[in-house]
Amino acid sequence: MTALTTVADPEAVAARAATRIASLIAQARERRGVAHVALAGGGTPRRAYELLAGLVERWDGVELWFGDERCVAPDDEQSNYRMVREALLSRIAIDDAGVHRVRGELGPERAARDYARELCERVATDASGTPVLDVAVHGLGPDGHTASLFPGQPSLGVRDQLAVGVAEAGLEPFVPRVSLTLTALTGGRHVVVLAEGPSKAGALAAAFGPRAVPGPEVPASMLAPETRDLTVLIDARAAAGLDLGGTAR
């Protein structure tokens, strides 16, 4: 099921996303004693993570993962881990063992192998052997990419692996990446996509609009057909002029 919600502005996107993620964390921990959450990188989710820090009272039983990472040092300004550390980890009490950083500094292939192994070791799997994340948070690039799955790249066709090395990013920062594959990203229970601003309007329509045709030219469009529960939160600027059939709030 895909629920697309248009809210007034970026702060409202962040607030709705933080509330949704906190609720899914509580639900997972109540039902299974643990919540596995894969966080998106980039800039859009930063504010949502800052708000999330204040919405979850205790972080024991929460395990944080990353949907993708740039192959840079963890203190590099391009590091998704650094952004999450600044926006979230620095504001909460969570054990180091509950934060699974992608060691991108090892290079895309080695880092992807190590990360996939860690996922398999820590996350309960479904009948197909795929680890079932409780929440996967996604951003959306203006080219329709999500995580580090870029239009037309071979990584989109990798379905027998959980993580993949991406030698050439399709959008800045043009550094090698590690990305969860569609198998890992859609094998979870819930996906939450955040997008805001006019630069994302075209990608939103192509990915989630009523005339979207799922396919590798718009990687984010490949989420909906395989995701059990998809929430798309966008602001009015991103939705402007789009016939998304969304519900303005």
Instruction: Give the residues lining the site for ligand 6PG (CB under 6 A).
Output: 40-44, 67-68, 80, 139-141, 145-148
Nearer to ligand 6PG, 62 or 193 (CB): 193
State CA 87 to chain mean position distance. Answer: 15
Structural contact between residues 151 and 145, judged by C-beta atoms closer than 8 angstroms = yes
The residue nearest ligand 6PG at its CB is: 139
Nearest approach, Cβ of residue 141 and ligand 6PG (Å): 4
Longest alpha-carbon distance in the chain = 45
Nearer to ligand 6PG, 67 or 246 (CB): 67
State CA 115 to chain mean position distance. Answer: 15
Nearest approach, Cβ of residue 120 and ligand 6PG (Å): 22
Nearest approach, Cβ of residue 246 and ligand 6PG (Å): 19
Nearest approach, Cβ of residue 82 and ligand 6PG (Å): 12
Nearest approach, Cβ of residue 44 and ligand 6PG (Å): 3
User: CB within 8 A of 166, min separation 6: which ones?
Assistant: 108, 148, 149, 150, 153, 155, 176, 177, 178, 179
Nearer to ligand 6PG, 44 or 155 (CB): 44
| CA 173 – CA 177 distance, rounded (Å) | 10
Structural contact between residues 166 and 178, judged by C-beta atoms closer than 8 angstroms = yes
Nearer to ligand 6PG, 29 or 102 (CB): 102
Nearer to ligand 6PG, 29 or 235 (CB): 235
Question: DSSP class of residue 235?
Answer: E
Nearest approach, Cβ of residue 196 and ligand 6PG (Å): 8
Nearer to ligand 6PG, 24 or 238 (CB): 238
User: CB within 8 A of 94, min separation 6: which ones?
Assistant: 59, 60, 62, 64
| CA 23 – CA 125 distance, rounded (Å) | 22
